[in-house]
Amino acid sequence: MKWLALCSWVLLAVAVFTGGGQAAGLPPGASVVYGISERGEGAPVTALYVQDVASGSRREIYRDHDEANRILIKIASSGILGAGRAAPPGDVYFLMGPTRVSDLSACTDALCRLRMGTEGPQMAPERLFPVPFCFSDASPYGLWNRAPNFALSADGRRFAVPAMRVGETRLERTSIRVLSATGEEVWRIPLEDEMLYVADLAWSPNGAQLAYIVMPYGDEHTLDEALLPKAGVYLADVEGRTTRLLYQCFAGTLAWGPGSEEITVAARIGDLWSTECEGQVIAVPSGQKRRQFSLRGYVTALAYSEGATHLAAQARYENEDRIWIYPTADGWGEPLEMELPEGGVLALLGWARIAEGASGP
C-alpha cells in the first residue's frame, strides 16, 4: 500500500510539474516566432515562421526574395539571432538592407516591421526608419556582417542598438545607441573599454530602463583578465542618463522577467569558457539573485511569453539547435517540435498571439 501510495504521489507530481505538456497554461494562439537562414550559391536567404505551441502548426510569414532588401545577418552564424524581435500580439521587427552597398552615402539599412493579424500578415515589411550600418572597409563577405543585437520597448517607442560605426563614422568604442520611434538618437552609452562588447539587451516593461550584458573579447591567449570583473548585467536609467553594473556574471543572453522588477539571464556555469548554462533570476534594482533553475544546453536566446507564464529558450543541445519551452512556475521544459533544414541556422525571435482564423500568405 505504501508503495502504491508513493507511486500515486509520483504520478501526481509529474502531472503537476509538467502541466500536461509545454502548452499547459498558455492562452489560445500563443505562438513562437523564429527565423531560419539558409546558405546557397549567393547571399543567405532568411525565412520567418510562426508556430502555435499547442497544436504545433507552423506557417511561413516572410521569405527574402530581393537582393536589394534582405534581412541582415551575422557572418559567424549566418543567422539573425538577436537582430530580430517579436512583440506580441503580432509584430515582428528586424533589420533589413541590401546584400552589397556600392554608394555608401545612399545606404538603405533600416529597421522594419511585419504585422500579423486576423487577415494574415502583410506581404511586405514596413520600413520604420533608417539605421545605417554600412561601412567602407573591404570585406570578402561583401557587407553582410552588419547585423547587431537590438531591443525594442514594449510600447514600440524606444529602441537600443549596439554599434561600432554609424554609417562611415567609426566610434572610438562600441556604444549602445538609444533611439526614438522615429530613429532619432536620444542617448549614446559607450562601453568602458574597446575590448568589451554587448551580448544582449532588453527593455523594462515601462521602457524606463535598459538591461544589457557586457562581455570581454578574446580567447584563452588574448583575453585581458583585468576586464573579467566588468562582465555582467548592466542597468541603464534612460531618464537619469545613468548606468551601472547590476550583477556580475558570464552570460550571452537575457530577458526582462518574469516579474516587472526581475531580469533572467542564461549564466554560464563555471568560467568564461563554459558551455553549460543555468537560468538565474535577478532582482531590480538590488541586483540580488532571487533563484536559479536548470536549462538544457548552451543557451543563446531567451524570451518570455505574454504574462510571463512560459519561457522560450534557444539552445545548442546534443549538437543540435532547438527551442525549449519552460513553464515559468516549475521550470520543466520540452522541445518545440520543428524541422530544421540541413545547413539551416535557427534564430528565436520571441512570442506572438495569433487570433483564431488568421490565415497565412
Whether 19 maps to a domain, the answer reads: no
Q: What is the pLDDT of residues 66-123, one digit of tens each?
A: 888 889 887 666 689 999 999 999 999 999 988 777 676 677 889 999 998 645 555 6
Tell whether 142 is covered by a domain. yes
Would residue 3 count as lying in a domain? Answer: no
Cβ neighbours of residue 247 closer than 8 Å, sequence gap 6 or more:
232, 233, 263, 265, 282, 287, 289
10 lies in a domain?
Answer: no
CATH number at residue 215: 2.120.10.30
Residue 56 lies in a domain: yes
- The pLDDT value recorded for residue 8 is 35
**In this structure, are residues 267 and 248 in contact, taking their beta carbons and an 8 Å threshold?**
no
Q: Determine the pLDDT at residue 41.
A: 76
Is 9 within a domain? Answer: no
Domain count along the chain:
1
Task: Give domain status of residue 11, yes or no.
Answer: no
Q: Is the CA virtual torsion 184, 187, 193, 198 positive or negative?
A: negative
* Residues 150-159 pLDDT 10s: 999 998 899 9
Would residue 4 count as lying in a domain? no
* pLDDT over 90 at 62, yes or no: yes
Domain that holds residue 196: 28-353
- Tens digits of residue pLDDT in 150-198: 999 998 899 999 988 776 677 888 899 999 999 999 999 999 999 999 9
